[in-house]
Amino acid sequence: MTRAGLGAVVRKELRQIGRDRRLLPMLIFAPLVQLMVFGHAVSFDIDNVDVAVCDLDDSAASRTLARRLVADGTFQPVGPLPDCTRPEQALLDGRADVAVLFPAGLERDLAAGRPVEVQVLVDGTNPTIGRFASVAAQAFLDARAAELQRERLAGLRSAQGFERPVPTLTVQSRLFYNPRMQSAIFMVPGVAAMLLLLITTVGTAMGIARERELGTLEQVMVTPLRPAELILGKVAPFVLVGLLDVVVALVVSSWMFDVPIRGSLLVVFAGTLLYLLSTVGLGLFISTVSSSQQQAFMVGFFVMMPAILLSGFMTPVENMPDWLQPIAWVNPVRYYVEVLRGALLKAAGFRDLGLQFGALAAFGTTILAASIVRFRKRLA
């Protein structure tokens, strides 16, 4: 391989990218805009669950309960239920996410020590909100129940002349790495991985498919250039663009979204290089199995969409069923998301991320080698 040949191809490719007035902004600015939109749009925070209350008791006790239910801001009152006999209607109309019904005789039963059941209706359409709302409603009533129990127990003990006070179990929970649970902090690394894949894989695949479609690939092949030089020259500009995009993403995410950089940048960039090896390799491979740009595009999407959605950037990989786990095992996006989150949030080093680095390197070299072999075969 001659350095001059490689350099010539890289220069030609860079010039071609630079000359297309629309392509370069697409490769640099589009990801930037996406990252900003993503960072702001993506939020798992459920901060207002709309609740409608139906108070059939209308006593001091039930009104206190209703007031305390919305006191901490988890539940947002949207007014009383219009029709207490058909509480589902408010959920059906989308007026409320939760309907709470305090039964008649609540105050009397509580005073008499009879158990009281409060009905809580939750819209389960969105399981995340549904689960959150039912847990929150349950926790609220549990806490009130515990309070009453404790009062009763204390009363009982003082009546019997016991000395011992009532114990409490307290749970202190602590979230590591992201104590305020800001969605952007764990989403932005995932988004960066996704954007890199989109840009470099599609770019590489389309670039080669285009030459094939226009018939210029044959012209290049009659030059003394060797296939490996041609391939490296074709992918090198996209590796550069990818690295540039990572720098932009890091700057934007730490500046706009307070994503910390706790680990070493060396780990981040080493991981990025290995990841780019995989993404351009994938693009190259796609270009060898397609005969037009449209096909390259379709095949590319067919491969990339599962790779992105099953990478663990939105939902944990461990939640996937067993028969899908093999996809997760060979998914470079998954390992890169783990590298980014590990290095940026947890200060993980090379030793902690050994598996991820190994997997990325293995995937990258395998796919690159496979596509070079296929590329040669198709030319011959």
Partner 1 sequence: MSAPGRLRRFAIRTGAVAAKEATHAVRDPRTLYLALGMPVVLLVIFGFGISFDVEDVPIAVVDQDRTPDSRALERSLTTGHEFVVAARPDDPAEVDRLFRERTVSAALVVPRGFAREWAAGRRAPVQLLVDGSDGVGAQSVLGNASAALRAEGRRRLAAETGGAAAPLAAEVRLLFNPALRSAVFFVPGLIAYILYIVGVLLTALTIAREQERGNLEQLFATPVGRLEVMLGKLLPYLALGLLQALLVLAFGMAVFEMPLRGSLGVLGLGTLLFLAGALAQGLFISSVAGSQQVATQAGALSSLLPGVLLSGFVFPVENMPLLLRALASVFPARYYVDLLRGVMLRGNGFDALWGDFLGLGVFCLAAVALATLGFRRRLA
Binders of partner 1 among residues 244 to 283 (CB under 8 A) are none
CA dist 283 to 26, 241, 288, Å?
A: 18, 14, 9
CA dist 327 to 48, 142, 211, 305, 333, Å?
A: 36, 42, 31, 12, 11
CA 89 to chain centre: 34
CB closer to partner 1, 45 vs 258: 45
Task: Please identify which residue in 9, 96, 187, 196 interacts with partner 1, judged by CB under 8 A.
Answer: 187
Stretch that binds partner 1, among 18-26, 225-233, 235-243, 250-258 (CB under 8 A): 18-26
The answer to whether 285 and 370 have CB atoms below 8 angstroms apart is: yes
CB closer to partner 1, 167 vs 224: 167
Stretch that binds partner 1, among 71-79, 90-98, 225-233, 270-278 (CB under 8 A): 90-98
Residue type, 31: P
218 binds partner 1 (CB under 8 A): no
Scan residues 318-337 and list those touching partner 1 (CB under 8 A): 318-321, 323-324, 327
At 255, list the tokens. Answer: 């500046």
342 binds partner 1 (CB under 8 A): yes
CB closer to partner 1, 117 vs 218: 117
172 binds partner 1 (CB under 8 A): yes
CB closer to partner 1, 184 vs 372: 184
What sign results for the dihedral spanned by CA atoms 182, 188, 194, 198? Answer: positive
Task: Please identify which residue in 7, 82, 108, 148 interacts with partner 1, judged by CB under 8 A.
Answer: 148
347 binds partner 1 (CB under 8 A): yes
Return all residues near 20 (Cβ < 8 A) that are at least 6 apart: none
CA dist 134 to 60, 125, 148, 334, Å?
A: 25, 13, 21, 32
Task: Please identify which residue in 183, 254, 264, 366 interacts with partner 1, judged by CB under 8 A.
Answer: 183
CB closer to partner 1, 14 vs 166: 166
124 binds partner 1 (CB under 8 A): yes
What is the signed CA dihedral for 6, 221, 377, 13, rounded to 10 degrees?
40
Tokens 């992105």 -> residue: 308
List the one residue out of 126, 152, 133 whose CA is nearest residue 69: 133
The answer to whether 266 and 188 have CB atoms below 8 angstroms apart is: no
Q: Tell me the C-alpha distance between 284 and 306, whole Å.
A: 18
Tokens 């599609």 -> residue: 202
CB closer to partner 1, 26 vs 373: 26
Task: Please identify which residue in 1, 7, 18, 23 interacts with partner 1, judged by CB under 8 A.
Answer: 23
357 binds partner 1 (CB under 8 A): no
Scan residues 52-71 and list those touching partner 1 (CB under 8 A): none
Task: Please identify which residue in 71, 92, 251, 369 interacts with partner 1, judged by CB under 8 A.
Answer: 92
